A = this chain, B = another copy of it.
Amino acid sequence: MVLCSKRFIASLEASLTEVVVICGWILHLRELARTTFIVVKDCSGQVQCVVASELVRDLKLKLDEPLEIRGKIKPDKRAKLGFELEVIEINVLNQVSILPFNSSSDISDIGIETILAYRPLSLRHSEIGDIFRIQAAILQYFRQFLGARYFTEIVTSKIVSSGTEGGTNLFEIKYFERLAYLAQSPQFYKEYGVSGLERVFETGYVYRAEPHASSRHLTEYYSLDLEMGFINSAEEVIELERELLTFIFEQLNQNFADQLKHYRTKLLPSMLNVPTWEFTECLKLLNHHFGRNDLIDDLDPEAERQLCQLAEAETGVAALFVIGFPLSARPFYTYPRGHEGASQSFDLLFEGIEITTGGKRLHKREDLKQSLTNRNLNPASFENHLQMFELGMPPHGGLAIGLERLTSRILNLPNVRQASLYPRDRYRITP
């Protein structure tokens, strides 16, 4: 048998008369006395294959075995596709061990540990595979939207000599004779990118050595970063994100309607009318509606849920931008907003959780230097960075979206680990 003549299942048609070869995994198997029905699945679709039971009895076929099948199309109006495949020859390409579940099992009770330990198998399961097909689509739409608006994709080093925010929560790398660190963010490189190309984006991993082991944190997560030059205020970044997410959501609604239905009751909303609320206003609302008086310079997960609830009551969409976080609680490169210690830093809260942080940044060397001094950071140790702001840096801002968080909100997954193929946390570095 010759594998190279393999066809994708999606390319089969009722009118084909020649012998065809398909490959795929056994998704369903029904062995009757005379006839055996095998539903075979590949990356393009699935087809029911029919074979005389005596021909396959010795093979002791098992679910999830990879097969190569030579056969002929047999039109059959009762079949989903309008035809079945009559098997001429069947070849089992690899053995499977005893499996804890199959790619056609009900997996609602299967825990994350088993899903990860059997990642190749869990990924073959259509429900779990869909998480990652949708994640791939998010990436595609993110890049497509930005590419059409003069953004250039950049790839920037993840090995850095110091942190972007003064050096906490960094993973240390032994780099030949010296120490280096895993990048917490492409922030500085995005800003240099703006000075060169005006609008840039990057999709890549960032690293946070945070000792959390919560359902919302990973030590390594995939960040959708963008940065744009010549802006006046953070609101322009917010407006871009409204349009960006609306585009991504519309594409997903169109192209993954069935898959989304499995995970969420409503289609994804338009984000065009998501409101922007001031941080101080949010604190008042939280106090008024929920009696919260424990928040000072940041929100907590409970407050994020509560604010989304209030936004949903008001707009029908459980999402809001919060702008004006206290300058002191945000990184040194944050641009101030007005004169009362507020900043042009914002978060996007979506369906109960923060999925974006963004803002306008300082673009003048002297302002950055002053800000470092105000925070008791030594400008001298940022000198190489500060110099980059003397080469024609325009006013600018940007944002970062956590891919796993966005995916898990879109699909209503309780744990961000479910949206990561190989999650890394405080305790996990395998598989």
| A residues adjacent to B (C-beta < 8 A) | 2-4, 6, 8, 23-25, 42-44, 64-66, 68, 93-97, 99, 103, 118-124, 129, 132-133, 135-136, 139-140, 143, 147, 150, 152-161, 171-176, 178, 180, 182, 189, 191-199, 204-205, 207, 209, 211, 219-220, 222, 229-233, 235-236, 363-365, 384-385, 387-395, 403, 421-424, 426, 429-431
Q: How far is the CB of A53 from chain B (nearest CB, A)?
A: 22
| Set B4, B136, B171: member contacting A174, Cβ < 8 A | B171
A233 and B192 contact, CB distance less than 8 A: no
In the bound complex, residues from chain B placing their C-beta under 8 Å from that of A197 are 43, 123-124, 129, 132-133
In the bound complex, residues from chain B placing their C-beta under 8 Å from that of A157 are 220, 421-424, 429
A140 and B122 contact, CB distance less than 8 A: no
12 A–B contacts, CB within 8 A, in A order: A8-B150, A23-B394, A64-B391, A95-B365, A122-B196, A129-B196, A132-B154, A132-B197, A158-B220, A173-B173, A178-B429, A385-B431
B150 and A429 contact, CB distance less than 8 A: no
A120 and B205 contact, CB distance less than 8 A: no
Cα-based distance from A37 to B404 in the complex (angstroms): 50
Given A129-B197, A143-B143, A189-B421: 4 more A-B contacts, CB < 8 Å: A4-B232, A94-B394, A120-B194, A120-B391
B153 and A196 contact, CB distance less than 8 A: no
B66 and A192 contact, CB distance less than 8 A: no
A392 and B25 contact, CB distance less than 8 A: yes
In the bound complex, residues from chain B placing their C-beta under 8 Å from that of A171 are 173-175
Given A230-B3, A230-B66, check contact A176 B25 (CB 8 Å): no
A393 and B66 contact, CB distance less than 8 A: yes
B196 and A120 contact, CB distance less than 8 A: yes
Given A150-B43, A421-B155, A424-B157, check contact A175 B94 (CB 8 Å): no
Q: How far is the CB of A71 from chain B (nearest CB, A)?
A: 15
A182 and B176 contact, CB distance less than 8 A: no
In the bound complex, residues from chain B placing their C-beta under 8 Å from that of A172 are 173-174
B431 and A65 contact, CB distance less than 8 A: no
Given A43-B199, A97-B391, A197-B129, check contact A421 B156 (CB 8 Å): yes
In the bound complex, residues from chain B placing their C-beta under 8 Å from that of A430 are 160-161, 384
Closest to A128 in B: B196
B3 and A150 contact, CB distance less than 8 A: no
| Set B154, B220, B229, B431: member contacting A136, Cβ < 8 A | B154
A93 and B158 contact, CB distance less than 8 A: no
In the bound complex, residues from chain B placing their C-beta under 8 Å from that of A143 are 140, 143
In the bound complex, residues from chain B placing their C-beta under 8 Å from that of A119 are 192, 196, 388
Nearest 8 pairs of A and B residues by beta carbon: A123-B196, A120-B195, A3-B232, A43-B198, A23-B230, A97-B390, A66-B394, A157-B422
Closest to A430 in B: B161
Cα-based distance from A173 to B140 in the complex (angstroms): 31
Cα-based distance from A236 to B4 in the complex (angstroms): 7
In the bound complex, residues from chain B placing their C-beta under 8 Å from that of A222 are 155
A393 and B174 contact, CB distance less than 8 A: no
Cα-based distance from A139 to B152 in the complex (angstroms): 11
In the bound complex, residues from chain B placing their C-beta under 8 Å from that of A211 are 176
Residue with the greatest number of chain B CB neighbours at <10 A, chosen from A157, A174, A178, A193: A157
A176 and B209 contact, CB distance less than 8 A: yes
Q: How far is the CB of A307 from chain B (nearest CB, A)?
A: 26
In the bound complex, residues from chain B placing their C-beta under 8 Å from that of A426 are 176
A429 and B230 contact, CB distance less than 8 A: no
Cα-based distance from A389 to B431 in the complex (angstroms): 13
Given A157-B424, A173-B173, check contact A132 B120 (CB 8 Å): no
